[in-house]
Amino acid sequence: MGTGWELTKALREQIYRYASYPQTSVSLRQMVQFGPNPSPGSIFLASQFIVEELPIRLALKVKDLDNAPLGLNKMPSTVKVKNWYAQSFEELTNLPKPEISAHLAELLNTNGALDRQLKLKDSETSTFIQDDKTVVQETLNPANSESANPAINNVFSDDGIVVRPSSHQNHNISSSSSLSSSSLSPKVGINSKLRSESPTFGKTYYTSCPTNIIWPKEVYDYNKSVYDALTKIKKRHDATVATMAQGVQEWKHDNQTIHVNSSIQTFLDRFYMSRIGIRMLMGQHIALNMAQASPAKAKINKFLNGSNGNNNNNNSNKKNGQANYVGVICTDCNVGEIATDAIETAKYICEEYYGLFDAPEIQLIAPGNDINFMYVPGHLIHMLFETLKNSLRATIEFHTPKLKAKMCEEDPDLKFDEIDINDLKFPPIKVIISEGSEDIAVKISDEGGGIARSETPLIWTYLYTTVSETPVLEPEYNQTSFKAPMAGFGYGLPISRLYAQYFGGDLKLISMEGYGTDVYLHLNRLSSSSEPLP
């Protein structure tokens, strides 16, 4: 991961120049317009956009880490993360640009794609073609123009976006609402010269291109070169969350403090929120590349799925292949199925950690009818897994001494320390799923003793944990080999809440000390139109 690499003065100057450019918001609507079998031409134009937009976002990360508050920027792990972003910036900006022949330009412009890219400069309203029948006018509201779960080794477990179709209009694909307007308000007074100099000025991520033509080899070659670069970069950054946790731990040790203060907390919230956006773009583009239509694949899809290449209304297709996926977005995500997966994963980690034959029972209570909506399964399973893991640990550690003491009372011949944990009967944890007009809500309810009222605000701070010893990452750590700890990093709830809030939802907690805790995960069903950028 960058052995022998260094951040030179010339590269730093280039990074800071890019950091002065405004980010270009990617409409979530654009993300699903590629469809399950994207046109290689659309991917080609999107690849050019990605190679120009991501360096801006990576440069902002380098600058932010350079200016991390209270000496956090000097911690070895923070410097390591900063260098990862700088190296990724260098690789993307050095990627050879594609040569567009007259023939390719003509193909790309069959639907007026190149003309539209030139006409979009500084326009407040863009027209996006959603399908052959529907044209959607998307007004970019200035108020919305905002400047890892290691237990699940899924290549896209840490990426993606959330969008949802309106329940009344099947073709009106909507995006998630963002955080509060105060935290994600637009940057006012951006220098117009800097704006026009930005590599992505006037460009959009999705551009409609034909799907029924034979694209020349240079299109596939460039798409593959961008795919390979993004795959390498994404792998480099897999350990970012945990490595930054190490950096904060180093800062706490150097400053001999127990809790993270408000300025570090604010920095980390902004840092991780912006990381979600970067991972979203990379993960979505990698997935779209993997799904891009080739002439042979198009014929096979037409034969298997009918003339439209995809039949989401056919229930038999839902379980087969990726018919209900557009990149990392599942267009028909079943909340109950995802909850079941999260339950099984959390129970497995719990059983290994405590040496249990069977983890405490987790009861899933859901409506008789399936609840399906557009979401990123990797994000949902991450949030549910983290909260379930907390409930399992609280239940076991709160009730173990009580249950052992009760058994000793009933049988004086028993010795407290010799009672096997597998002989104890723990109260169940309940996972309740509810569907409303605005939200899909999941409540995780346990009887794990609750949290003292004075400590409740601390659970949302980074590196706050009730575990006495925080796990230490080995130097060779990577996400694919890392085994998720039962607890200890103190990142589960804060990061999960960011995921929920980024997609317009929220994660809340209500506790009764001495009894248990209820966690409420709200998944937003309403929408705004643009990607939230910090």
Which residues does the annotation mark as catalytic?
Answer: 382, 386, 389-390
Q: Which of 303, 285, 301 is CA-nearest to residue 293?
A: 301
Look at the block and give the residue holding tokens 């939802």.
505
Q: Which two tokens stand for residue 105?
A: 């330009």
> What is the maximum span of the chain, computed from C-alpha positions, in angstroms?
90
Chain-centroid distance of CA 256 in Å reads: 33
Q: How far apart are CA 220 and CA 335, in angstroms?
A: 36
Q: Which of 380, 286, 304 is CA-nearest to residue 342?
A: 380
Half-sphere exposure of 352 (CA within 13 A, CB side): 12
Q: How far apart are CA 263 and CA 266, in angstroms?
A: 5
Beta strands 362-365; 429-435: pairing state: parallel
Q: How far apart are CA 230 and CA 213, in angstroms?
A: 26
Query: Which helix (H) or strand (E) segment is 325 a member of?
Result: strand 325-326
Q: How far apart are CA 22 and CA 279, in angstroms?
A: 18
Q: Which two tokens stand for residue 430?
A: 């309940």
On whether the CB atoms of residues 375 and 336 are closer than 8 A, the answer is no
Give the full edge-to-edge strand order of the sheet including 163-165.
163-165, 173-176, 527-528
